[in-house]
Every structure is written in structure tokens, then in C-alpha cells.
Structure 1
Amino acid sequence: MSKATPATRALAAAGIAFTVHSYDYDPGAERIGLQAAEALGEPPQRVLKTLMALVDGKPVCVVVPSDREVAMKKLAAALGGKAAEMMKPADAERLTGYHVGGISPFGQKRRVPTAIEQAALAEELVYINAGQRGLQVRLDPNAAAAALGAVVAPIAS
């Protein structure tokens, strides 16, 4: 498994300190984020999942703890919209350049507005997908939010 991905290259170019961690990805897992947390031996609130959604029909990236769900109304409000819905997996892959289960908010083919769950910033370090199934970067969540120009808001339920 290559540890150099568009995500790790984007983080390095931005001067963000991170470490790369691999784990055994289970494509049959019911909840991929929780499976990643378990495989890494980390509490689920420290392993963030990256999801792609639409707010008023426009693509957005959403980063929330793996044990939480996105509150669509809160997401829409945080990004100045009226309605939000999850993006279809094939559309997410086309837009980001990553495969579902390996989508990272960093180094996507096209930069889109990003929202991060506010509670994640209370953690000293978090894990975020590194752009490949079974690969995570560990970094300061505040640095991640700054690098992404993310909106930080209570968007999870």
C-alpha cells in the first residue's frame, strides 16, 4: 500500500504535521468508520469519517466522528443552505477522485466547501482518511480545519 496519496501530498504541501497509519480495511463492515476506529484501537470520536453531501444541490464535504451521523438540517444551516442530502457514492467518487471507504477531505480533484463537526476539535489528535482504503492520517483537528478552510459547527447528531 502506497502511503503517498493526493491527500498526504496536499497536507505536506500545506506544511501540516501528520503521521500515516494503516489498518486492515474490511469492505464488508456495516459502518466503515467504526471498523477503522476498532482496527486502529482508537475511540470512535477520534476517528473521523469523510462524507460527501449536497447542500441546495451543490457538493460539500463533511467530516464527523465515526460514531455520529450528519444532521442534515444542521449541515445545511452551517453552510448557508436550506436542505442537505447525501451524495450518491458514484458521484462522490467522480468528484473527489477517491473510492468510497477511502475518501479524504484533503487533495480532492475539486475543492468544495467543507464542514467539520465542532466536537472533533476538542480532541488533541484525530484520524482522517488519507485517500486510500485502510490508510489514515493522524493530525491536529484544528490544523485540519484550517488547511481545509472548513466551517466548524455542530453538524452531527
Structure 2
Amino acid sequence: MARKEHISETPATALLRKHKVPFTEHPYEYEEHGGTTVSARELGVDEHHVVKTLVMQDEAAKPLIVLMHGDCKVSTKNLARNIGCKSVEPCRPEVAQRHTGFMVGGTSPFGTKKAMPVYVEESILGLETIYINGGRRGFLVSIRPQVLTEVLAAKPVNCALAE
């Protein structure tokens, strides 16, 4: 039981609790470079319902977060067009870690070190439940997708590409 208590202590879950957001914890065996394919398999859920947290930057190197279905990629060209930027590209892992305070593979959009704009693929908001990183490798939380707009003020975008 002590292990479970320890898992829940992240900046992400602290923020969810502060906002009184109901969530369920889902620890799993983390695999390096396994991504959402592994977490979906380990939890026995559809990868489309597992949401990845991607840290990107615009042409001025301003960071932003994109929330995308686990089984999709981000069209950076469509994202840039959606948010009115010239270009968007993924941040290098060490830069992403500096912005968020989370290790790559354990990045949550909740409880980041630096406040950043958050964009969510619009179709994610239509799902009943999503599984998103809880702020540590091998740890997802399940929440209602509306929490993304209510707590993070995430703006809907259309930039998904099928993997």
C-alpha cells in the first residue's frame, strides 16, 4: 500500500487534488521508448484514449504543450496554422524537462514548472475517459477530458495525423 501512496505524490496529482478533480491512478511497468503503445497494452485500454503530452516550441522558441491521441502524430504545419505561428517543432528532451520539471516519458500537462499554453486535439474532448501521464514514468491517471479545458484552459486544435 505504501508504494501506491508514493506514486500519487507528483506535482500533477497535487494540482488535480487542489482543483478537486476526480482521477484514478494507473501505475504500470515503464519501458524506455515504449510510449503509449506500451502503456495502453499494460493497462488494457485503447491507445486512442491514452493521451500523450508533447512539449513543443514556436519560431520564437516559446514553449507550448500539445495533447494528442496516443495512436496519432502531430502535424506541426497544421498546428502552427491553427495557433497562428509561423512554425512549431518539438523541444529537445533537456529543454522540455527544463520547462516542465518532468522527465521525458513522465511529462504531465498538470503541475508544470513553467506556465505554458496548452492545446488539445479536439476529438480528445469527445471521449468519455482519457488516460494521461500523472507526472512520473510508468504512471497514468484517468480523468474526464473536460478537465483539460476546465483546469488547463486547453484550446482545441485540429492537427492529428494517423500514425
Alignment of 1:13-28 (within 5 A): 13-28=18-33
Counterpart among 5, 12, 18 of residue 10 in structure 2? 5
Aligned to 1:145: 149
| Structure 2 partner of 1:45 | 48
Which of the residues 62, 76, 80 maps onto 1:76? 80
1:103 aligns with 2:91: no
Question: Which residue is equivalent to 1:36?
Answer: 39
Contact 1:75 / 1:115 at 8 angstroms: preserved in 2? no
Quick one: which amino acid aligns to residue 127 of structure 2?
E
Aligned to 1:88: 92
Moved over 6 A (4+): none
Deviation at 1:76, TM superposition (A): 1.4
The one-letter amino acid paired with 1:140 is R
1:116 aligns with 2:123: no
Q: What is residue 3 of structure 2 aligned with on the other side?
A: none
TM-score by length of 1: 0.94
Q: Percent identity?
A: 36
User: Deviation at 1:2?
Assistant: 2.1
Query: Structure 2: how far apart are the matches of 1:18 and 1:77?
Result: 33
8 Å CA contact retained: 1:5, 1:131: yes
Tell me, which stretches of 5 or more residues in structure 2 are unaligned? 1-5
- Measured after TM superposition, the shift of residue 80 of structure 1 is 2.1
1:69-123 CA-partner distances (Å, limit 9, x unpaired): 0110121122221211010001001110000000000000011001011111111
Give secondary structure in 2 for the equivalent of 1:63: strand
CA distance in 1, matches of 2:98, 2:65: 13
CA distance in 1, matches of 2:23, 2:80: 30
What do you get for the CA RMSD once the two structures are aligned? 1.1
Answer yes or no: is the 8 Å Cα contact 2:56–2:90 preserved in 1. Answer: yes
